[in-house]
Amino acid sequence: MKNSVRFSIITPNFNGDRFLEQTLTSVLRQRDDGVELEYIVVDGNSSDASHAIFDSYAAGIDTLVIEDDTGPANAINKGLALATGDIVAWLNADDIYLPGTLQRVEQAYAGRPHSAMYFGGCQIVGEYGEEIRSGITRFKELFYPVSSRFTFQCINYLSQPSLFFSRRAYESGGPIREDMVAAWDYEFFLRLWHAGDATYVHGGPLAAFRWHEQSISGQNYAVQFQEEFEAARADAGRFSLQTVCHFFVRWAIVGIYSLMARSRRRKGSGKL
Radius of gyration for the chain, computed over Cα atoms and rounded to the nearest angstrom: 18
Domain count, the chain: 1
Q: Please list, in sequence order, all residues whose beta carbon lies within 8 angstroms of the beta carbon of residue 159, skipping any fewer than 6 positions away.
A: 119, 121, 122, 140, 207, 209
Element (H, E) at 5: none
- The pLDDT of residue 269: 61
Q: The domain containing residue 44 runs over which residues?
A: 6-270
pLDDT in tens, the chain (272 residues): 455 899 999 999 999 999 999 999 999 999 999 999 999 999 999 999 999 999 999 999 999 999 999 999 999 999 999 999 999 999 999 999 999 999 999 999 999 999 999 999 999 999 999 999 999 999 999 999 999 999 999 999 999 999 999 999 999 999 999 999 999 999 999 999 999 999 999 999 999 999 877 665 556 778 999 999 999 999 999 999 999 999 999 888 877 767 766 776 676 665 54
| 190 vs 232: CA distance, rounded Å | 8
- The pLDDT of residue 153: 98
For the whole prediction, is pTM greater than 0.85?
yes
- The pLDDT of residue 61: 98
Closest by CA position to 169, among listed 87, 79, 91: 87
Q: How far is CA 137 from CA 130, 134, 199, 222, in A?
A: 14, 5, 18, 19
- The pLDDT of residue 47: 98
- The pLDDT of residue 1: 42
Residue 261 lies in a domain: yes
Residue 157 lies in a domain: yes
CATH number of the domain that 70 lies in?
A: 3.90.550.10
Residue 1 lies in a domain: no
Residue 23 lies in a domain: yes
Residue 161 lies in a domain: yes
